[in-house]
Chains A and B, each alone.
Chain A
Amino acid sequence: GAGVSQTPSNKVTEKGKYVELRCDPISGHTALYWYRQSLGQGPEFLIYFQGTGAADDSGLPNDRFFAVRPEGSVSTLKIQRTERGDSAVYLCASSLGLAGGTGELFFGEGSRLTVL
């Protein structure tokens, strides 16, 4: 498809388990973002990639969270030792990555993570 694709759309896991969430951005978009949206809240920034490198990871809540984008396209958000508080919708967005600002972000539909 032409939009940002995220898989899985839903993930239910048990406390303490490891989870991977995948994002396939719009072709040609060099910038990729991960946000987390808890129920009733706006999205919260986690990490931003420009190409293959994490240009800003200041939003990652702790060292259980890690993200990669090895070839500058698909990205994976990895969560170790999941906790119930990690339950949220994880949104991925991509943009052209133009200098000087965020430009228009194109969001995927999100991956809903539920930690039991």
Chain B
Amino acid sequence: TQLLEQSPQFLSIQEGENLTVYCNSSSVFSSLQWYRQEPGEGPVLLVTVVTGGEVKKLKRLTFQFGDARKDSSLHITAAQPGDTGLYLCAGANQGAQKLVFGQGTRLTINP
């Protein structure tokens, strides 16, 4: 069974600070996605990474896929209250249509 573990599970920081959340597995994935979920809503896709070592930037968010395609990180620069939410990583295997989700990192940015 493939598992994705996210850390930390909870993170509360002040506006303007930087942070990194991690998504780790002992299994290789062909691609990895990051989603953000707000209360009462479904997850919304932020990014997909497919190549080992790949780095993608989305405004103040930087996503990296590990060289071995077993782990990923999300770095947020100068966090803002609007970044508050549950961040989920999800792995997929080539040809398979189901995603394996981590348990999420609940991020709170305090004004």
Contacts and interface: CB of A to CB of B under 8 A. Distances in A.
Contact of A43 (B30, B43, B44, B92): B43
Contacts of A45: 98-100
Interface string A7-29: 00000000000000000000000
Contact of A55 (B88, B97, B103): B97
B103 A41 contact: yes
Nearest to A92: B42
Interface of B: 4, 6, 30-31, 33, 40-45, 48, 88, 90, 92, 94-104
Given A40-B103, A43-B99, A45-B100, 20 more contacts: A31-B97, A40-B104, A41-B103, A42-B88, A42-B103, A43-B43, A43-B101, A50-B97, A55-B97, A56-B97, A56-B98, A91-B43, A101-B31, A101-B97, A102-B96, A102-B99, A104-B48, A108-B42, A109-B40, A109-B41
Interface of A: 4, 31, 33, 35, 40-45, 48, 50, 55-56, 58-59, 91, 93, 97, 100-102, 104-105, 107-110
